[in-house]
Amino acid sequence: MISNLPMLTVVSLESLNELAGRVTLKRVTAGSVVVRQGESASEFFIIRSGRVNVIDETPGGDEEVLRSMGAGEAFGELALMQGTPRTATVRAEVDAELFVVDKGSFDRLLADNVVAPELAPSVSALMSVWSMPPFRHLSAGDAHTVAEAGHWIAVLPDVDVVQAGDPGDAYYVVGSGHLAVVEDDRVVRDLGPGDYFGEVALLLDVPRTATVRTRTPARLFSIDRAAFNKVIASAFRTGALRVTAADRTVQERT
């Protein structure tokens, strides 16, 4: 099972054999938290059996299930690779068995090998792109384009990422944190992990229709106009992606 994971296809057989001798098996009962949002990362997980839910926990205590994962899928690698806190909570939906790789083994056997040197961008970058809801429909070629063109930015609380009236030059996906969409000094929508914004100004070639302000520290993935037009715009035009609710009202007025 471990050797069949897409992200490990470029790892040497020798490293995989050593890894197999280092993994441990963890059994979790339905409802148990495997990792908690905001905690430091120390392990990588592969689901042997059962299902888990990836959950965003808001500052107000609400929860949103972002994704459900089953046997053969893996989670936890990005926080280890990037040295960042967990961006979501993972909770067992049913009783589950998980292969666990500790950080030391991951760093020594996988971190450098998960990336294929001849590939640009790396396998880990593609996995990062495909992990974001707006990009899950992309082909490998289009995911490469997004990964090459995009970059992550860290933003402090109470910062305007975009301001109403500014020219539209980028599209954003929320990796972690929470933001507010503000129109006429009124919050019209909250944004959290997996949400996106900035598409209307690019689709219609108009100034920004609203201000988007961080409520908490946030990590955002940004792609420029050229990559958006090449890869993402068609998904909005065909209905595969929907214009965000706050922006749709403005679009209808235009």
Place of tokens 């961006």: 87
- Give the residue from 126, 103, 129 showing the smallest Cα distance to 116: 126
> In whole angstroms, what is the distance from residue 92 CA to residue 96 CA?
7
pLDDT in tens, 139-149: 767 877 888 88
pLDDT in tens, 164-213: 999 989 999 998 889 999 998 899 999 998 899 999 888 888 899 899 99
Inter-residue contact 198 to 162 (CB < 8 Å)? yes
> In whole angstroms, what is the distance from residue 173 CA to residue 132 CA?
8
Write the single-letter amino acid at 32: S
Cα of 23 vs its chain's centroid, Å: 25
pLDDT at residue number 94: 94
Q: Which pair of tokens denotes residue 166?
A: 């500014």
The helix, strand and coil proportions of the chain, stated in percent and rounded to the nearest 5, come to: 30, 30, 40
pLDDT in tens, 47-103: 888 999 988 877 677 887 878 888 877 788 777 777 778 878 899 999 998 888 887
Q: Which pair of tokens denotes residue 180?
A: 């507010």
Domain span(s) for CATH 2.60.120.10 in the chain: 2-114, 145-253
Residue 64 backbone dihedrals phi, psi, to 5 degrees: -135, 125
**Can you give the pTM of this predicted structure?**
0.53
pLDDT at residue number 91: 94
Cα of 59 vs its chain's centroid, Å: 19
Is 130 a residue whose pLDDT tops 80? no
pLDDT in tens, 23-38: 788 899 999 999 988 8
Is 42 a residue whose pLDDT tops 80? yes
How much is the CA Rg of the chain, to the nearest whole Å?
19
Is 252 a residue whose pLDDT tops 50? no
List own/partner pairs for 250-253 with CB under 8 A and 24 or more apart.
250/200, 250/209, 250/210, 251/200, 251/203, 251/204, 251/209
CATH fold of 145-253: Jelly Rolls (2.60.120)
Pick one of 3.30.43.10, 2.60.120.10, 3.30.540.10, 2.60.40.150 as the CATH number of 2-114: 2.60.120.10
Place of tokens 């609203």: 210
> In whole angstroms, what is the distance from residue 222 CA to residue 204 CA?
18
SS3 47: strand
Inter-residue contact 56 to 64 (CB < 8 Å)? yes
Is 216 a residue whose pLDDT tops 50? yes
- Give the residue from 215, 73, 196 showing the smallest Cα distance to 158: 215
pLDDT above 70 as % of the chain: 76
Place of tokens 């053969």: 72
